[in-house]
A = this chain, B = another copy of it.
């Protein structure tokens, strides 16, 4: 009838206490603030702890201490190398400070993201890392009511009040677009990921328009193609651009993956890059430098961003005050895929 259950002799504080002949309070102190305990008793307690293989019960600890030492993060997807990279650094930094990562992904879906945020809070996340600002105000209200400190990453927008550790997507793309225009390009197209609920992508697109305006050109000239994230979708988008606007001499993509797709499509169509058409990316993930031709792109310090984000969150948990927003610099990586505009 009954399962032959293994005897799970999970020891409690009380077990340790009786073995060491002290009170549970002393054991607790030994573990949490060892300096407030006499040296000999501490040794006795630690011995008992090891002997029993004691480890605190998580629920009890969380209940009494009112924190879980757990920090949540909701990212669009781990399959995007930029998030994997940033999150790896984020997690490493958390670990260094005794915090654990609670992770969920939204698949770039706003509604799913909200669910995940609520799930992580329900699971006791002490603080949260979210990607980008764009989000229903209701969610932010929820987070505030629950008292969960929240940090934005991957975006930095001086116009927003919320604390962020990220970079100015719009300014970064604007800088790149200036270089593109400086190469004589005027008929520029942009392949972007969906901009709805995504201020990063939207900012990047705006950056291109900014540069057009600066150059005295009509920002409406920029052809915009929205498509989901992926190499295949990047290829399709490229074909669409060339079909509808064959005069295009430069295609700026809001990320490297779409750009690699564009590169492939160009080759398939017999177009030389950059002689016939220029292509740029964004992020500077590994394939950018491996691509043929090597991709001109915007380098983003993903690891540093992840690390700093973790630090901010750890700070706010300690000091109960969230630091200032931090803008990280991006750099243009000028490589082969951007060249002078071909003569019309």
Q: Which residues of B contact A62 (CB under 8 A)?
A: 58-59, 62-63, 124
- Whether B55 lies near A6 (C-beta < 8 A) is no
When chains A and B are docked, how far (Å) is the Cα of A145 from the Cα of B11?
A: 10
Interface residue from B10, B59, B81, B116 paired with A63 (Cβ < 8 Å): B59
A62, chain B: closest CB distance, angstroms:
3
Select from chain B the residue with minimum beta-carbon distance to A98.
B119
* Nearest CB of B to A202, in Å: 25
The complex places the Cα of A91 from the Cα of B78 at a distance, in Å, of: 10
Give bound CA distance, A5 to B121, whole Å: 19
Chain A 175-214 interface 0/1 with B at a Cβ cutoff of 8 Å (1 = within): 0000000000000000000000000000000000000000
B8:A286 contact, CB within 8 angstroms = no
Chain A interface residue count, CB cutoff 8 Å, equals 63
Residues on B with beta carbons closer than 8 Å to the beta carbon of A84? 78-79, 81, 84
Q: How far, in angstroms, from A56 to B121 measured CA to CA in the complex?
A: 10
CB distance from A231 to the nearest CB of B (A): 7
**What number of copies of this chain does the assembly contain?**
2
Choose from B63, B88, B146, B291 the contact partner of A8 (Cβ within 8 Å): B146
Is the Cβ of A102 less than 8 Å from the Cβ of B70? yes
Interface string of A76-97 (1 = CB under 8 A from B): 0111010011011001100100
Is A172 part of the contact surface with B, judged by Cβ < 8 Å? no
Instruction: Check A59 against B66 for contact (C-beta < 8 Å).
Output: yes
Q: For the complex, give the distance between the alpha carbons of A257 and B55 in Å.
A: 40
Nearest residue (CB) in B for A261 is B290
Partner of A87, one of B64, B78, B321: B78
Whether, in the assembled complex, A158 has its beta carbon less than 8 Å from a beta carbon of chain B, the answer is no
The answer for the CA separation of A142 and B10 in the assembled complex, in Å, is 11
